[in-house]
Structure 1
């Protein structure tokens, strides 16, 4: 079941505020920890979330043209634009943008992918437990499974696999089984490395091997 647009935005706004609360009181060293997003530290991912929260359709097109149609370059420009010298100011900037409903010209499910996957990119290296609404995770997962890697999804990663949510028993796809919590399935399909024990089943090794950094991997949820 797809969430209506109002529910998607309610979830996104809530996740932004929850992340702000989780990041209060971090040490300087914690801000520099590598995130799950290849090449970015925790502060970089936070600055990126500020950028995407403030980027609408027109700004997205403008930024992409300035970056010569390179998504990764456009994302990097956005980080530079919003990454404050003091990470606490970047946290404040996300709080100020928390209730915005700007989006690029893309499926609205990308906003859920953005909020959830980047939330885990930040929380897991910091040892912070995340909790997300199950319908939002499922909608983000289904979107990623249907979207090619070249467009930031994970369709090729799940080809010939049957994903099973070990908590609810929900199933997606056909083939060798991969059983995990839905949030871990979403991260793996989105190209994030996971602790191997989080995935079980005959297809687990294949999905874990596919969940590596690839050029343009950040496009899954960016913009």
Structure 2
């Protein structure tokens, strides 16, 4: 299968579409759903969205300052951002729409962070709420490819020595024992979401489960 990477313009377009769909989805949630737990440990739906939008207005200098305040620990810097963006649901939706085109750190590598992080976090919300979606295949293929080059997500380490095969997409990657399943479940599993592991199969599934 083709290993050609999408160019930066393609990634940015896909990231913008993903953010637009994310905002549309958030507009359908009830106040109770905004306070429901997500797959991110200790984060509500509102917290996840605060995190997603919390880097857009910083620029690179502001991002470095936030990480310095957090002792250059990703989780601590993210918690600072959540506190600083404790807004109402509508305010968060409006911010996401205002920044449909990513800026600063989320625009890195042509919008890679916005696309991959945003897609994973939308699923972090949808899965616990029981609100699945059909992710457009071009976005999902691209997110899978890019996730495997994004060390902060942990996907390169989890997928090492395994062949990932998306059964609903024209996509596979890697070498070694196979792990097969829907592309969305593969993405969530390599991103560390054990919630998706039982949706996968193959001789490499147990090893991926250990790493997740």
Judged with a 3 Å threshold, the aligned counterparts in structure 2 of structure 1 residues 65 and 147 are, in CA distance, closer, same or farther, namely same
Deviation larger for 194-203 or 15-24? 194-203
Deviation larger for 1-10 or 67-76? 1-10
Distance in 2 between residues matched to 1:57 and 1:104, nearest whole Å: 10
Distance in 2 between residues matched to 1:11 and 1:96, nearest whole Å: 16
Q: How many residues align?
A: 208
Distance in 1 between residues matched to 2:95 and 2:176, nearest whole Å: 44
Q: Does 1:5 align with 2:8?
A: yes
Q: Does 1:21 align with 2:24?
A: yes
Report deviation, 1:14: 1.7
Judged with a 3 Å threshold, the aligned counterparts in structure 2 of structure 1 residues 67 and 2 are, in CA distance, closer, same or farther, namely same
Report deviation, 1:169: 4.9
- Between Structure 1 and Structure 2, which shows a larger proportion of helix residues? 2
Report deviation, 1:105: 8.6
The equivalent of 1:202 in structure 2 is 203
Kept in 1, the 8 Å contact 2:59–2:105? The answer is yes
Judged with a 3 Å threshold, the aligned counterparts in structure 2 of structure 1 residues 187 and 92 are, in CA distance, closer, same or farther, namely same
Superposed CA deviations along residues 54-94 of structure 1, whole A, max 9, x for unmatched, are: 3432221121122221221111111111121x322222222
Q: 1:92 aligns with which of 94, 103, 114?
A: 94
TM-score by length of 1: 0.82
Kept in 2, the 8 Å contact 1:56–1:104? The answer is no
Query: After TM superposition, which residue ranges in structure 1, 4 or more long, deviate above 4 angstroms?
Result: none
The equivalent of 1:57 in structure 2 is 60
Q: Does 1:79 align with 2:79?
A: no
Report deviation, 1:46: 0.7
TM-score by length of 2: 0.86
